[in-house]
Structures are given as C-alpha cells and as structure tokens.
Amino acid sequence: MSVSRKRKKELQKLQKQAGNLWEAQQVLVGEAATVAREARRQLGNYGREQVRPQVQANYEKYAAPYVDKGKQVVNSTIVPAAGAVVGSAMSVWDAANVQRARLAGGGFSAPWAKPAPVPVKKGLGAGGWIAIILGVAAAVGVLYAAWQTLRADDELWVADDPLRAPDA
C-alpha cells in the first residue's frame, strides 16, 4: 500500500509532535519526582521537629501518670497477690505429691519417717504457666492503655480549609 507524499509529510509531522510530547512528559515526570522527594524530606523534618515533640509532651502530660500508676498497681498489688496464690497452690501441690508418694510407697508410714523421694518433673509446672499468663495479661493491658492514649482522633485532624495550599 503506497502513501502519498502529502500523507507522509503529515505522518512525519505527527510523529515529531508525538516525540516532542513524550519528551515534555518525561521532563514533567522528572520534575514531579523531584518535588515528591523534597516533600518526603520536608515531611520527615516536620515529623522530627514538630510532631514527635508534641507526641512526647502529650504522652508525658496525659499517659505517663496512668502508665506509672498502672506499674505501681501491678508491682504493689497484683504481683504480690499472684505470688501468694501461686505459692499457696505450689505448697498444696507439693503436699499432695508427698502424700501421693507415701501412699504409692507402701501405704501409711510414721510421720517421723523420711518421705519417699518425689521424681523431678521436667518442663513448666502450674506455677510457671500461671506466671506466664499473668505476665502476658499485664503486657496486653499496658499496650492497650498506650494505644488508647496515642490513637488518632479524626475530629482533631480536620483541616479548616481543605482546598487552600499549606503555608510553607
């Protein structure tokens, strides 16, 4: 299929225009990438210089007293109570093991006689599991309190004029 000389010129002109447009788009994309890099850098600076100190100040003002009080409650109330419960449970467990060993060793024996040695168990006992559960519960409580304190409140971050460009 042959193309007339006039059509060839028109196609070459169109091809040249498309090439010019492509080059202009590449320049525009390059400039947009430069602007995006600079915006990212400025956002990082803003976060370090403005947001982080505000978050730290608000944490110290609002959350830190509650976190400290929670630590005091855990250390002064929950840990001793859990220790007492675990200690009582372990002593009852040990007494039951001694009695079981006595009965397994040939019936009743005199109270002054030595009890049969109790086999040593490997792995975590009931007290270990209770301590792990209490530790995990305390950690979850502290993380939940911190999350409640630091979570974003959507109503606080609504811009007054969303169409206006931010001041530099």
Q: What is the pTM of this model?
A: 0.36
Q: Which two tokens stand for residue 45?
A: 């600076």
88-144 pLDDT tens trace: 888 888 888 888 887 777 655 555 656 566 677 677 778 888 889 999 999 998 898
Cα pseudo-dihedral 22, 28, 31, 37, rounded to 10: -90
Residue ranges of the domains in the chain? Answer: 5-148
Q: What is the number of other CB atoms lying within 10 angstroms of the CB of residue 11?
A: 11
Which pair of tokens denotes residue 37?
């890099």
Q: So what's the pLDDT on residue 113?
A: 58
Top pLDDT among 102 and 155 is at 102
Q: What does the alpha-carbon distance between residue 100 and residue 107 come to, in Å, rounded to a whole number?
A: 10
59 pLDDT above the threshold of 80: yes
pLDDT at 10 over 80: yes
Comparing CA positions, the residue from 126, 132, 131 lying closest to residue 96 is 126
